[in-house]
């Protein structure tokens, strides 16, 4: 790609909670944006354009809220853009922001994604705004059952993911759930929600926001803290359903990561990529995405989980932040994945830092496991030294 290099120089997020009754929607997004600006050593006036992402407006009951949020996000007299690509939207919001810098349209862009689920009824909206919603868990459970049957994975894989991500989340000061004392036994004995998913294998419903500041090569090199470089971005979509579609391992997921690997020069993802933040709202999606993104061979993803390879101290850590299982403000969840990958290669992930991470992958997916957004970020523009 001939576009200009793009650097991430500021990252901010809110403390995610079930209900952030202490702030309005504007207060919530501003909290994340303010932290990102402070991290970038910038002020509101330094930003040239703002990109806002969130999942369906029905979650809060505010139509096109970017209009009302223009003031809170310092966008007055600037370009303000609104992205909505279902669950992948947080990722798309980061990608669209990075493209504005990459295309040379702007020098400094602020991408913000949020959801304030306590202000509405997410379950209702997840069902398309109709009654009788089966929700996301009900929609994905059949895919998960198909994966288990196809791969022959033992039943405790999902429980292991649930424990591992919550233990990681306990190390993340911003995470919604802090379940440091979670055990396999507790997950197994928590109520069955959507067979085979137990309550503790499901994501929470959170209020939260995430913000990222992008700048150009000069800005990245001049930044006071180490930047993360956006090495490649990709967005793929496929239809919700048709005879022959593989909903367990969607073609769009394979295509999305293949495009990223090619752009970055990755030939062996498990060896060359240091860690990954994958959108895992239900435990079993960890092995499913490891396979659908060709990090593990078909049927081998669960073995990575089982062997501890995806733990914080494993050879391929996944969801160091605690992931969607620990915090899920839906519209922000994708950008939180993308931001955590950037924190890792900047060496700023605190207690959930993977030592020496140079190349990190982040992914978000949406709707009927059919929309995919992904980026790879590096500690330098050539982390593989190719």
Partner 1 sequence: MPRTENDIAIVGYAQSPMLRRSEHTETEMMLPTVQGALKMAGLTKDDIGFTVSGSCDYLSGQAFSFVSNVDAYGAWPPINESHVEMDGAWAMYEAFVRLLQGDIDTAVAAGVGKNSNSDAATLYTIEVDPYYLTPLGADPQSLAALQYRALLDSGKATERDVAELVARNRASAKGNVHAQVSGDFDVDELLAADYVRNPLRRHDLPPTTDGCAAVVLARGKKAYELCERPVWITGIDHRIEPHLPTLRQDLTSSISTKLAADGAGAGNGPIEVAEVYAPFSFQELIVTEALGLGADTAVNPSGGALAANPVMVTGLIRVIEAAKQIMENGKSRTLAHATSGPCLQQNLVTILEGDA
The site for partner 1 (CB under 8 A) is made up of 1-3, 24-25, 56-71, 75-86, 92, 96, 99-100, 102-105, 125-130, 234-240, 242, 250-252, 255-256, 367-368, 370-372
What count of other Cβ atoms lies within 10 Å of the Cβ of residue 367?
A: 15
Question: Please, which residue, 140 or 302, has the CB nearer to partner 1?
Answer: 140
Are the C-beta atoms of 12 and 36 separated by less than 8 Å?
yes
Question: Please, which residue, 34 or 251, has the CB nearer to partner 1?
Answer: 251
Cα 165 to Cα 337: distance, rounded to the nearest angstrom? 13
Residue environment code for 86-116, b if the CB has 16+ CB neighbours within 10 A, otherwise e: bbbbbbbbbbbbbbbbbeeebbbbbbbbbbb
Cα 96 to Cα 13: distance, rounded to the nearest angstrom? 19
Query: For residue 258, which of 231, 285, 294 has the smallest C-alpha distance?
Result: 294
Backbone angles phi, psi at 209, to 5 degrees: -145, 160
Cα 113 to Cα 47: distance, rounded to the nearest angstrom? 16
Query: For residue 203, which of 98, 284, 267 has the smallest C-alpha distance?
Result: 284
Q: How far is the CB of 272 from partner 1 (least distance, A)?
A: 22
Question: Please, which residue, 99 or 225, has the CB nearer to partner 1?
Answer: 99
Question: Please, which residue, 62 or 384, has the CB nearer to partner 1?
Answer: 62
Question: Please, which residue, 326 or 363, has the CB nearer to partner 1?
Answer: 363
Cα 38 to Cα 359: distance, rounded to the nearest angstrom? 24
Are the C-beta atoms of 114 and 66 separated by less than 8 Å?
no
Are the C-beta atoms of 253 and 372 separated by less than 8 Å?
yes
Question: Please, which residue, 120 or 226, has the CB nearer to partner 1?
Answer: 120
Q: How far is the CB of 53 from partner 1 (least distance, A)?
A: 9
Question: Please, which residue, 126 or 295, has the CB nearer to partner 1?
Answer: 126
Q: How far is the CB of 2 from partner 1 (least distance, A)?
A: 4
């Amino acid at each position: 790609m001939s576009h200009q290099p793009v650097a991430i120089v500021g990252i901010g997020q809110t403390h995610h909670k079930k209900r952030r009754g202490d702030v309005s929607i504007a207060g919530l997004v501003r909290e994340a944006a303010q932290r990102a600006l402070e991290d970038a050593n910038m002020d509101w006036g330094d930003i040239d354009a703002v990109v806002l992402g969130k999942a369906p407006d029905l979650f809060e009951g505010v139509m096109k809220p970017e209009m009302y949020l223009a003031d809170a996000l310092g966008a007055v007299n600037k370009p303000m853009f609104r992205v909505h690509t279902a669950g992948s939207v947080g990722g798309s919001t980061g990608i669209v922001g990075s493209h504005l810098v990459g295309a040379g349209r702007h020098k400094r862009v602020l991408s913000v994604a949020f959801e304030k689920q306590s202000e509405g009824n997410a379950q209702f909206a997840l069902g398309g705004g109709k009654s009788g919603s089966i929700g996301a868990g009900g929609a994905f459970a059949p895919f998960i059952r198909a994966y288990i049957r196809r791969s022959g994975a033992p039943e405790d894989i999902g429980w292991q993911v649930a424990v591992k991500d919550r233990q990681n989340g306990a190390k993340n000061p911003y995470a919604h759930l802090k379940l440091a004392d979670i055990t396999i036994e507790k997950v197994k004995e928590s109520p069955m929600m959507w067979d085979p998913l137990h309550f503790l294998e499901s994501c929470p419903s959170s209020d939260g926001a995430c913000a990222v500041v992008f700048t150009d090569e000069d800005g990245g090199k001049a930044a006071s803290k180490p930047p993360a470089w956006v090495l490649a971005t990709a967005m793929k979509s496929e239809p919700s359903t048709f005879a022959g579609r593989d909903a367990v391992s969607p073609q769009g997921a394979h295509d999305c990561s293949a495009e990223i690997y090619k752009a970055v020069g990755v030939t062996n993802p498990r060896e060359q990529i240091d860690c990954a933040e994958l959108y895992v709202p239900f435990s079993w999606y960890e092995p499913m995405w490891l396979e659908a993104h060709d990090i593990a061979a078909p049927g081998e993803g669960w073995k990575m989980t089982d062997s501890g390879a995806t733990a914080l101290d494993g050879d391929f850590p996944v969801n160091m932040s605690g992931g969607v299982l620990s915090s899920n403000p839906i519209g922000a969840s994708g950008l939180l994945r993308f931001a955590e990958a950037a924190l890792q290669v900047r060496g700023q992930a605190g207690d959930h830092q993977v030592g020496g991470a140079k190349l990190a992958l982040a992914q978000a997916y949406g709707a009927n496991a059919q929309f995919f957004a992904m980026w790879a970020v590096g500690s330098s523009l050539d982390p593989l030294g190719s």
